[in-house]
Amino acid sequence: MLKFIIGRLIEMVPVLIGISILVFFFIHLIPGDPAAIIAGDFATPESIADIRSNLGLDEPLPVQYFRYMGRLLRGDMGRSIHTSNPIAQELLQRLPASIELAVSAMLIAILIGIPAGIVSAMRRSSILDTLTMTGALIGVSVPIYVLGLVAVWFFAVQLRILPPGSRIGPDIELQNITGFFVLDSILTRNWNALVDVLKHLVIPAVVLCTVPMAIIARITRSSLLEVFSQDYVRTARGKGLSETRVVIRHALKNGMLPVITIIGLQFGVILSGAVLTETIFSWPGIGRWVYEAIQKRDYPIVQGMTLFIGFVFVMSSLIVDAFYTWLDPRVRYD
């Protein structure tokens, strides 16, 4: 296992280098000049040229790339073009918000998606199976921005039972210890803040979980149906075991292998790709940060976050592969 993990970590290096090259050169193809944006609408060509020179944007792209990678290898992700703040510092400030939202959405997706897939597989071709798979298809098909706007309109505007956005109300005081507002509320025993934080978390988490929940339900159903056709499951049924015991004791563990893969990959997608959700709900996470950086042509932020997202995906895949050995003793990495 250790040899496998080391090998995968070594494989990460060329993958991340390839991502950095593609992103660096593609991002410079985006129309717009960050120097002109910083200088403003009434800037002179001379002032724009001075800004480009100070930022190093007047040098050839290969020179800019190797200079960027040199800093990155020293642990320096660079600074924002617009704010001059260190990117690593801003990442650490915004990452807890994204993790809190991603974990909440994934928990909802798992707690609903897996049972829905199990029930659908156990009641194959029934009305319940049809309704479940139809709901999963709708969950995958409806765009996040449409679902988010509808949810805000219904729960925040019409019913007024949930806030429309942000992480916490402006009138709520909370001591920021870890950056995770739910955890901070519990650590400080600020129950009023905990209730308010959970209210702000409900709509964006539910909206964000719809796609992974639908995918998890469909994969769980397909995987269990395949396991149900195996000889050991038919033998267990032949022994007179109840269907529930057959599923839980014999089918579920083997059927969870593809589901674990999907959960790991979907968590990476949620953590790194919640751009629309965070933008709609004014959630101060890395997704909204990257969206604003793209609008402002803030190259260092986009480059650094793309590499971070690639790292998250690779690590998610590594963790899933390592977790396989616990679920299936037949899997060995020699």
The answer to the question of residue 56 being in a domain is no
* Contacts (Cβ under 8 Å, ≥6 apart) of 175: 184, 188, 190
pLDDT the model gives residue 299: 78
Instruction: Tell me the pLDDT of the chain averaged across its residues.
Output: 84
The whole domain housing 196 covers 90-293
pLDDT for res 61:
80
Residue 66 lies in a domain: no
Tell me whether residue 268 is in a domain.
Answer: yes
- For residue 178, is it within any domain? yes
Q: Which of 124-133, 203-212, 272-281 has the lowest average pLDDT?
A: 272-281
- 41, pLDDT greater than 90: no
pLDDT at 181: 93
Residue 29 is assigned to a structural domain of this protein: no
Which pLDDT belongs to residue 116? 92
**CATH number of the domain within which 285 lies:** 1.10.3720.10
In a domain, 83, yes or no: no
- Length of the chain equals 334
Give the chain's domain count. 1
The pair of structure tokens assigned to 40 is 């403003």
Three-state DSSP state, 205: helix
Which carries the bigger pLDDT value, residue 126 or residue 56? 126
State pLDDT tens for residues 233-285: 888 888 877 778 888 777 887 788 888 888 888 887 787 667 888 888 989 88
Give the confidence band of 187 by pLDDT, cuts at 50, 70, 90: very high
Contacts with 138 (C-beta within 8 Å, 6 or more apart), sequence order: 214
In a domain, 75, yes or no: no
pLDDT of residue 272: 65
When pLDDT is cut at 50, 70 and 90, the band that residue 326 belongs to is low
In a domain, 85, yes or no: no
Identify the band that residue 332 occupies on the pLDDT scale cut at 50, 70 and 90: low
Q: Where are the alpha helices (DSSP H) in the chain?
A: 2-27, 34-39, 45-55, 61-73, 87-122, 127-141, 144-151, 181-187, 191-228, 231-238, 243-246, 252-273, 275-280, 286-295, 299-327
